[in-house]
Amino acid sequence: MTTLTHEISHRPDFAMVSVKLEAGQKVQAEPSAMASMDPNILMKAGFKGGLKASLGRAFGGESMIVNTFTAQNGPGEVLFAPGTPGDAVHYALDNSTLYLQRGAYMANSDGVEVTGKWQGAKGFFSGEGLVLLKAHGSGDIFFTSYGAILEIDVADGGYIVDTGYIVAFEETLQYRVRTVPGMSTGGKIKSFLFGGEGLVCEFSGQGKVWIQTRSAAPFLNWTWPFRPTKNNN
Protein backbone atom coordinates (compact mmCIF):
# COMPACT_ATOMS: atom_id res chain seq x y z
CA MET A 1 0.00 0.00 0.00
CA THR A 2 1.51 3.24 -1.10
CA THR A 3 0.96 6.28 0.98
CA LEU A 4 1.31 9.71 -0.48
CA THR A 5 2.82 12.46 1.62
CA HIS A 6 0.21 15.13 1.37
CA GLU A 7 -1.16 18.23 2.98
CA ILE A 8 -4.55 19.86 2.60
CA SER A 9 -4.43 23.60 3.18
CA HIS A 10 -6.91 26.49 3.14
CA ARG A 11 -9.73 24.37 4.45
CA PRO A 12 -12.59 24.28 4.34
CA ASP A 13 -13.66 26.94 1.87
CA PHE A 14 -10.84 27.01 -0.69
CA ALA A 15 -9.05 23.79 0.03
CA MET A 16 -5.96 22.84 -1.90
CA VAL A 17 -4.20 19.50 -1.89
CA SER A 18 -0.44 19.39 -2.04
CA VAL A 19 1.15 16.02 -2.77
CA LYS A 20 4.88 15.51 -2.25
CA LEU A 21 6.01 12.75 -4.55
CA GLU A 22 9.17 10.79 -4.02
CA ALA A 23 11.26 9.95 -7.07
CA GLY A 24 9.26 7.63 -9.32
CA GLN A 25 6.07 7.97 -7.28
CA LYS A 26 2.81 8.69 -9.08
CA VAL A 27 -0.46 10.43 -8.40
CA GLN A 28 -3.49 10.48 -10.66
CA ALA A 29 -5.93 13.34 -10.84
CA GLU A 30 -8.95 14.52 -12.79
CA PRO A 31 -8.17 16.83 -15.71
CA SER A 32 -7.74 20.49 -14.81
CA ALA A 33 -7.27 19.72 -11.12
CA MET A 34 -3.53 20.51 -11.28
CA ALA A 35 -2.85 24.05 -10.15
CA SER A 36 0.94 24.07 -9.97
CA MET A 37 3.85 21.65 -9.87
CA ASP A 38 7.61 21.29 -9.78
CA PRO A 39 9.33 21.14 -13.17
CA ASN A 40 10.55 17.58 -12.70
CA ILE A 41 6.99 16.26 -12.60
CA LEU A 42 5.88 14.60 -15.81
CA MET A 43 2.21 14.77 -16.68
CA LYS A 44 0.58 12.20 -18.92
CA ALA A 45 -3.09 11.91 -19.89
CA GLY A 46 -4.77 8.57 -20.45
CA PHE A 47 -7.77 6.32 -19.98
CA LYS A 48 -7.07 4.69 -16.64
CA GLY A 49 -8.40 1.27 -15.83
CA GLY A 50 -9.54 0.46 -19.35
CA LEU A 51 -12.73 1.22 -21.21
CA LYS A 52 -15.17 -0.06 -18.59
CA ALA A 53 -13.70 1.96 -15.74
CA SER A 54 -13.39 5.03 -17.98
CA LEU A 55 -17.03 4.80 -19.07
CA GLY A 56 -18.01 4.26 -15.46
CA ARG A 57 -16.24 7.47 -14.49
CA ALA A 58 -17.91 9.29 -17.38
CA PHE A 59 -21.35 8.19 -16.19
CA GLY A 60 -20.34 9.17 -12.67
CA GLY A 61 -19.91 12.76 -13.78
CA GLU A 62 -16.13 12.59 -14.19
CA SER A 63 -13.85 12.79 -17.14
CA MET A 64 -12.91 9.58 -18.90
CA ILE A 65 -9.38 10.88 -19.00
CA VAL A 66 -7.19 10.81 -15.92
CA ASN A 67 -3.88 12.66 -15.72
CA THR A 68 -0.94 10.84 -14.19
CA PHE A 69 1.79 12.88 -12.53
CA THR A 70 5.15 11.17 -12.02
CA ALA A 71 8.16 12.60 -10.18
CA GLN A 72 11.28 12.12 -12.27
CA ASN A 73 14.88 12.27 -11.08
CA GLY A 74 14.05 13.19 -7.54
CA PRO A 75 11.13 14.34 -5.40
CA GLY A 76 8.61 16.92 -6.47
CA GLU A 77 5.40 18.58 -5.42
CA VAL A 78 2.04 18.91 -7.19
CA LEU A 79 -0.81 21.12 -6.05
CA PHE A 80 -4.39 20.25 -6.88
CA ALA A 81 -7.38 22.55 -6.64
CA PRO A 82 -11.01 21.46 -6.85
CA GLY A 83 -13.34 23.06 -9.35
CA THR A 84 -15.77 24.40 -6.78
CA PRO A 85 -15.20 26.55 -3.74
CA GLY A 86 -15.15 23.96 -1.00
CA ASP A 87 -13.40 21.33 0.94
CA ALA A 88 -11.10 18.44 0.08
CA VAL A 89 -10.72 15.26 2.09
CA HIS A 90 -8.11 12.51 2.11
CA TYR A 91 -9.17 8.92 2.64
CA ALA A 92 -6.95 5.85 2.85
CA LEU A 93 -8.40 2.80 1.18
CA ASP A 94 -7.25 -0.48 2.71
CA ASN A 95 -8.42 -3.12 0.29
CA SER A 96 -11.78 -1.49 0.62
CA THR A 97 -14.30 0.56 -1.31
CA LEU A 98 -15.47 4.12 -0.97
CA TYR A 99 -18.52 5.47 -2.76
CA LEU A 100 -18.44 9.05 -3.97
CA GLN A 101 -21.14 11.37 -5.26
CA ARG A 102 -21.04 12.43 -8.90
CA GLY A 103 -18.08 14.65 -9.59
CA ALA A 104 -16.57 14.37 -6.11
CA TYR A 105 -13.40 12.64 -7.26
CA MET A 106 -10.21 14.67 -7.42
CA ALA A 107 -7.08 12.51 -7.16
CA ASN A 108 -5.80 9.10 -6.15
CA SER A 109 -2.57 7.18 -5.65
CA ASP A 110 -1.53 4.01 -7.40
CA GLY A 111 -3.46 0.95 -6.27
CA VAL A 112 -6.84 2.68 -6.41
CA GLU A 113 -9.27 2.30 -9.27
CA VAL A 114 -12.07 4.80 -9.75
CA THR A 115 -15.07 3.72 -11.74
CA GLY A 116 -18.84 4.03 -11.78
CA LYS A 117 -21.44 2.03 -9.95
CA TRP A 118 -24.94 1.81 -11.38
CA GLN A 119 -27.56 2.87 -8.85
CA GLY A 120 -30.66 2.99 -11.01
CA ALA A 121 -33.85 4.40 -9.58
CA LYS A 122 -32.31 4.46 -6.11
CA GLY A 123 -29.56 6.77 -7.33
CA PHE A 124 -32.02 8.86 -9.30
CA PHE A 125 -34.33 9.51 -6.40
CA SER A 126 -31.51 9.88 -3.90
CA GLY A 127 -30.43 12.92 -5.87
CA GLU A 128 -27.03 11.38 -6.47
CA GLY A 129 -27.56 10.50 -10.11
CA LEU A 130 -27.97 7.13 -11.72
CA VAL A 131 -24.31 6.31 -11.30
CA LEU A 132 -22.19 6.77 -8.19
CA LEU A 133 -18.42 6.81 -8.30
CA LYS A 134 -16.73 3.84 -6.73
CA ALA A 135 -13.11 3.93 -5.57
CA HIS A 136 -11.68 0.54 -4.81
CA GLY A 137 -8.27 -0.83 -3.83
CA SER A 138 -5.53 0.09 -1.44
CA GLY A 139 -4.11 3.59 -1.42
CA ASP A 140 -5.11 7.20 -1.12
CA ILE A 141 -8.04 8.99 -2.58
CA PHE A 142 -8.86 12.70 -2.43
CA PHE A 143 -12.38 13.89 -2.89
CA THR A 144 -13.91 17.33 -2.94
CA SER A 145 -17.23 19.01 -2.59
CA TYR A 146 -18.98 22.29 -2.87
CA GLY A 147 -19.02 23.67 0.71
CA ALA A 148 -17.18 22.25 3.67
CA ILE A 149 -17.20 18.54 4.37
CA LEU A 150 -18.26 17.00 7.66
CA GLU A 151 -17.29 13.47 8.62
CA ILE A 152 -20.02 11.57 10.39
CA ASP A 153 -19.57 8.27 12.19
CA VAL A 154 -22.72 6.29 11.67
CA ALA A 155 -23.45 4.10 14.66
CA ASP A 156 -26.18 1.59 15.26
CA GLY A 157 -29.03 4.07 15.26
CA GLY A 158 -28.48 4.89 11.60
CA TYR A 159 -28.23 8.33 10.10
CA ILE A 160 -30.39 10.35 7.74
CA VAL A 161 -28.97 12.68 5.12
CA ASP A 162 -31.03 14.90 2.88
CA THR A 163 -30.67 13.91 -0.74
CA GLY A 164 -28.02 15.97 -2.42
CA TYR A 165 -25.79 16.44 0.63
CA ILE A 166 -23.94 13.12 0.46
CA VAL A 167 -20.32 13.48 -0.56
CA ALA A 168 -19.00 9.99 0.15
CA PHE A 169 -19.66 6.93 2.27
CA GLU A 170 -17.95 3.72 3.19
CA GLU A 171 -18.93 0.39 1.74
CA THR A 172 -19.81 -0.97 5.18
CA LEU A 173 -22.80 1.34 5.27
CA GLN A 174 -26.09 0.31 3.86
CA TYR A 175 -28.00 3.16 2.28
CA ARG A 176 -31.52 3.33 1.10
CA VAL A 177 -33.81 6.03 -0.15
CA ARG A 178 -36.87 6.51 1.97
CA THR A 179 -39.47 9.06 2.85
CA VAL A 180 -38.92 11.23 5.91
CA PRO A 181 -39.73 9.02 8.90
CA GLY A 182 -42.56 9.91 11.22
CA MET A 183 -44.80 11.62 8.72
CA SER A 184 -48.29 10.70 7.62
CA THR A 185 -48.80 9.58 4.03
CA GLY A 186 -50.56 12.83 3.16
CA GLY A 187 -47.80 14.80 4.81
CA LYS A 188 -45.22 12.85 2.82
CA ILE A 189 -46.93 13.59 -0.49
CA LYS A 190 -47.31 17.24 0.44
CA SER A 191 -43.72 17.43 1.50
CA PHE A 192 -42.51 15.59 -1.60
CA LEU A 193 -44.36 17.94 -3.94
CA PHE A 194 -43.94 21.24 -2.14
CA GLY A 195 -41.69 20.89 0.88
CA GLY A 196 -38.57 19.76 -0.93
CA GLU A 197 -37.81 17.36 1.88
CA GLY A 198 -39.72 14.37 0.65
CA LEU A 199 -36.93 11.89 0.16
CA VAL A 200 -33.91 11.22 2.32
CA CYS A 201 -31.08 8.72 2.38
CA GLU A 202 -30.93 6.54 5.42
CA PHE A 203 -27.58 5.04 6.28
CA SER A 204 -27.37 2.07 8.57
CA GLY A 205 -24.59 -0.17 9.84
CA GLN A 206 -21.15 0.91 10.91
CA GLY A 207 -18.97 3.29 8.97
CA LYS A 208 -18.47 6.87 7.91
CA VAL A 209 -20.43 9.17 5.72
CA TRP A 210 -19.19 12.57 4.57
CA ILE A 211 -21.71 15.31 4.07
CA GLN A 212 -21.35 18.75 2.58
CA THR A 213 -22.34 21.95 4.37
CA ARG A 214 -23.75 23.42 1.18
CA SER A 215 -25.44 21.96 -1.83
CA ALA A 216 -24.99 23.65 -5.20
CA ALA A 217 -28.57 23.34 -6.43
CA PRO A 218 -30.23 25.35 -3.64
CA PHE A 219 -27.48 27.95 -3.99
CA LEU A 220 -28.23 28.28 -7.70
CA ASN A 221 -31.91 28.66 -6.89
CA TRP A 222 -31.00 31.40 -4.46
CA THR A 223 -28.94 33.29 -7.05
CA TRP A 224 -31.53 32.88 -9.82
CA PRO A 225 -33.52 36.06 -9.13
CA PHE A 226 -30.30 38.12 -9.16
CA ARG A 227 -29.03 37.00 -12.55
CA PRO A 228 -28.67 39.72 -15.16
CA THR A 229 -31.40 39.52 -17.74
CA LYS A 230 -31.75 40.95 -21.19
CA ASN A 231 -35.07 42.37 -22.26
CA ASN A 232 -35.73 41.71 -25.91
CA ASN A 233 -38.90 43.73 -26.20
Partner 1 sequence: MDDFDDTFSGGVFHADIADGRAGASIDCGVSALSAVTTTGARFELRYDACTVRIGGASGRMVFCRSLDQSLTIFCEQKGFAAALQQAAGGLLDEGLAQSKSELRGANARSRNLMFGLCLGCVVLLVAGYFALMAAGRAALAAAPPSIDEKIGELAIEQMDLKGSVVEDPAIVAPLEALVARLAATDPDDPFSYTLTVVDADITNAFALPGGQIAIYTGLLELADSPEQIAGVLGHEIAHVTERHGMHGIARSLGLVVAIQFLVGDAGGLVAVAAEFGRFAAENAYSRDQEADSDRLGVERLHAAGIDPRGLAGFFELLERETASDVDIPSWMSTHPDHAARIAAITTQAQRFSNQTYTPAIPTADWDALKAALSPTVTTPSPPEETSDGRDNR
Interacting residues toward partner 1 by CB under 8 A: 1, 92, 94-97, 99, 120-122, 125, 138, 156, 169-179, 204-207, 232-233
Cβ atoms within 10 Å of 25's Cβ, excluding its own = 19
Minimal distance in Å, beta carbon 43 to partner 1? 30
Choice between 9 and 172, CB closer to partner 1: 172
Q: In what order do the strands lie in the sheet with 34-37?
A: 5-9, 16-21, 76-80, 34-37
Measured in whole angstroms, how far is the alpha carbon of residue 155 from the centre of its chain?
A: 22
Choice between 138 and 213, CB closer to partner 1: 138
Minimal distance in Å, beta carbon 121 to partner 1? 4
Choice between 49 and 111, CB closer to partner 1: 111
Q: With left for phi above 0 and alpha for psi between -120 and 50, is residue 56 left, alpha or beta?
A: alpha
Choice between 44 and 178, CB closer to partner 1: 178
Q: How far is CA 197 from CA 84, 97, 99, 166, 167, in A?
A: 25, 29, 23, 15, 18
Choice between 73 and 229, CB closer to partner 1: 229
Dihedral over Cα of 37, 42, 48, 51: its sign: positive
Minimal distance in Å, beta carbon 100 to partner 1? 12
Choice between 53 and 177, CB closer to partner 1: 177
H helices of 16-110, in order, are 50-59
The closest of 125, 196, 211 to 160, measured between CA atoms, is 211
Minimal distance in Å, beta carbon 214 to partner 1? 25
Residues 6+ apart with CB under 8 A from 101: 128, 129, 132, 133, 145, 166, 167, 168
